[in-house]
Amino acid sequence: MQQGGPAETARSATAYADAFTARVAGRTATIGIVGLGYVGLPLARAATAAGFRVLGFDIDPAKVATLNAGGSYIGHIPPDAVAAMRAGGGFEASAAFERLAEADAILICVPTPLGIHREPDLSFVTGTSEAIARSLRPGQLVVLESTTYPGTTREVVRPILERGGLRSGDGFFLAYSPEREDPGNAEFGTAAIPRVVGGDGPEASRMAAALYGAIVDRVVPVSSPETAEAVKLTENIFRSVNIALANELKLVYGAMGIDVWEVIEAAKTKPFGFMPFYPGPGLGGHCIPIDPFYLTWKAHEYGVATRFIELAGEVNVSMPGIVVDRLAEALDRRAGRGLAGASILVLGLAYKRNVDDLRESPSLRLMELMEARGARVAYHDPFIPEIPPTRKHASFAGRRSVPLDAAALRAPDAVLVATDHDGIDYGFVAREARLVIDTRDACGRAGHSGPTIVKA
């Protein structure tokens, strides 16, 4: 695109934004979504339901084939939902990234994991940005949704997109809108969760607000992409810090013989000034175990210490080891044996209840630690019949869930409740198992206690 003087540039940007918002209002805009996982696929479903044509892009040809055949690989998005998306040509999946030129808006929903030294790994973001840059055309809106540190959108994504000669705010438009998915939450689906948007310039902000306003119930505009990036980190750091506090209180009150779950249940009756957070065996999922480290890494660039955030991270990271120590202690005291050679059944492999999501699950770390100390470990999870390949725990791939029956509960030396899925009868578990190590108070909430149930 040829660039003219300031007035011409302003008119061009305004014209592009006007045309884009008109297509959004008329539902003639095509939305491209890159990354069809736990964020991208629910977003594609919501956008299709709002009347848009959606092109979904993924590097995994198996996912593309499954979706185009009307199937699903995510538990809380059933195949009939994908079939409904496909009906009438509203949704199509593709691995042909040159088709990004067909989209009026491109939403980036790719992973942002941590490296081996807990540094940000933006390889998926940069790779996707390079793919977009190869077919970027005037007037397109590009929105990064992946969780990251403040500055990523303008410092990392924008330079890549501008390599072809188009400029953000003139030839194309760039924004950040953090995903807020909560897999398995029946009350808050994609459309019901407000969307924060921060654009690289006023027209980008207007375009992003119009787009998300057509998909979700409420849009919350902020002044910049950096502010929007900080919003997502703040939300998850808030949870990380408060979960770490609950975990530390569990240790302190446990040493005093006080049940932290009972304390929290009583404390949350206060109608103001308190919000309940619960201890557990460690953090899991795609956000809370990762996001705080994105901010601490970026803060070093500014010479700012993040001691409070890092301490919370240390507490949460230490929890699997503490749970395994409690398990070993309980085996010694109640069964007269050590962890080496013991048989352990882990209940729940997913990182949270009632989902099939294994990302950063503390259950995998628990299994790793127990086996390193000589235990024989099996698991039961109704949502994960077989462990898929994972980056950190490749050796577990292919291991299958065992049936949960009386024999499976009586045979092991201990049953470790790691994820409290609703479909499990914890009364049955409490009655049949020789020893229960309960990291979620699942048995207590079901009204069961006794000498064979140890809260950890």
pLDDT, tens digit (0-9, with 9 covering 90-100), for 262-274: 999 999 999 999 9
The dotted CATH code for 6-222 is 3.40.50.720
Query: 36 is written with which tokens?
Result: 């069809």
Residue 364: CB atoms within 10 A of its CB come to: 24
Determine whether 376 is exposed, middle or buried from the number of CB atoms within 10 Å of its CB (0-12, 13-18, 19+): middle
Is residue 2 scored above 50 in pLDDT?
Answer: no
The pLDDT value recorded for residue 340 is: 96
Is residue 343 scored above 50 in pLDDT?
Answer: yes
The pLDDT value recorded for residue 88 is: 77
Query: 34 is written with which tokens?
Result: 């890159």
The pLDDT value recorded for residue 11 is: 58
Under 8 Å CB-to-CB from 238, ≥6 apart: which residues? none
The pLDDT value recorded for residue 290 is: 81
Q: Model's pTM, two decimal places?
A: 0.91
**Beta pairing, strands 173-176 & 195-199:** antiparallel
Residue 289: which pLDDT band, with cuts at 50, 70 and 90?
confident
The pLDDT value recorded for residue 117 is: 77
Residue 192 has what DSSP assignment? G
Q: Which of 412, 440, 413, 411 is nearest to 424 (CA)?
A: 440
Query: 53 is written with which tokens?
Result: 């044509």
Is residue 5 scored above 70 in pLDDT?
Answer: no
Per residue in 128-174, pLDDT tens?
999 999 999 999 999 999 999 999 999 999 999 999 999 999 999 99
Mean pLDDT calculated for residue range 360-379: 97
Is residue 119 scored above 60 in pLDDT?
Answer: yes
Lowest mean pLDDT among 81-90, 261-270, 396-405: 81-90
The pLDDT value recorded for residue 397 is: 94
Is residue 8 scored above 70 in pLDDT?
Answer: no
Segment (H or E) for 107: strand 105-108
CA distance 380 to 239: 28
Please compute, for residue 342, the number of CA atoms within 13 A of its CA located in the half-sphere on the CB side.
27
Count of positions (residues) in the chain: 456
Contact 413, 434 (CB under 8 A): yes
Determine whether 274 is exposed, middle or buried from the number of CB atoms within 10 Å of its CB (0-12, 13-18, 19+): exposed
**Ranges of each domain in the chain:** 6-222, 236-455
The pLDDT value recorded for residue 392 is: 87
Under 8 Å CB-to-CB from 28, ≥6 apart: which residues? none
The pLDDT value recorded for residue 9 is: 47
The pLDDT value recorded for residue 4 is: 41
Q: What's the whole-number average pLDDT of the chain?
A: 94
116 or 332, which is more confident: 332
| Sheet hosting strand 436-438, strand order edge to edge | 376-380, 343-347, 414-417, 436-438, 453-455
CA-based end-to-end distance of the chain: 62
Lowest mean pLDDT among 137-146, 297-306, 364-373, 377-386: 297-306
Contact 176, 144 (CB under 8 A): yes
Please compute, for residue 69, the number of CA atoms within 13 A of its CA located in the half-sphere on the CB side.
9
Residue 116: which pLDDT band, with cuts at 50, 70 and 90?
confident
Per residue in 211-228, pLDDT tens?
999 999 999 999 999 999
Query: 295 is written with which tokens?
Result: 């901010």
Highest mean pLDDT, choosing among 5-9, 110-114, 151-155: 151-155
The dotted CATH code for 236-455 is 3.40.50.720
Residue 69 has what DSSP assignment? T
Lowest mean pLDDT among 246-255, 320-329, 390-399, 435-444: 390-399
Whether 6-222 shares its CATH topology with 236-455 is answered: yes
Long-range interactions of 353-356: CB distance < 8 A, separation 24+? 353/184, 353/419, 353/420, 353/421, 353/422, 354/184, 354/383, 354/421, 354/422, 354/423, 355/75, 355/76, 355/183, 355/184, 355/383, 356/74, 356/75, 356/76, 356/383, 356/384
Residue 243: CB atoms within 10 A of its CB come to: 21
Is residue 252 scored above 90 in pLDDT?
Answer: yes
Segment (H or E) for 210: helix 202-213
Is residue 90 scored above 50 in pLDDT?
Answer: yes
Per residue in 180-203, pLDDT tens?
988 778 788 899 999 999 999 999
Positions annotated as catalytic residues are 287
> What is the Cα Rg of the chain in Å?
24
Quote the distance between the C-alpha of residue 163 and its chain's center. 31
Calculate what percentage of the chain has a pLDDT beyond 70: 97
The pLDDT value recorded for residue 291 is: 82
The CA-CA-CA angle for residues 327, 333, 335, to 5°, reads 85
Which conformational region is residue 121 in: left (phi greater than 0), alpha (psi within -120 to 50 degrees), or beta?
A: beta
Is residue 3 scored above 60 in pLDDT?
Answer: no
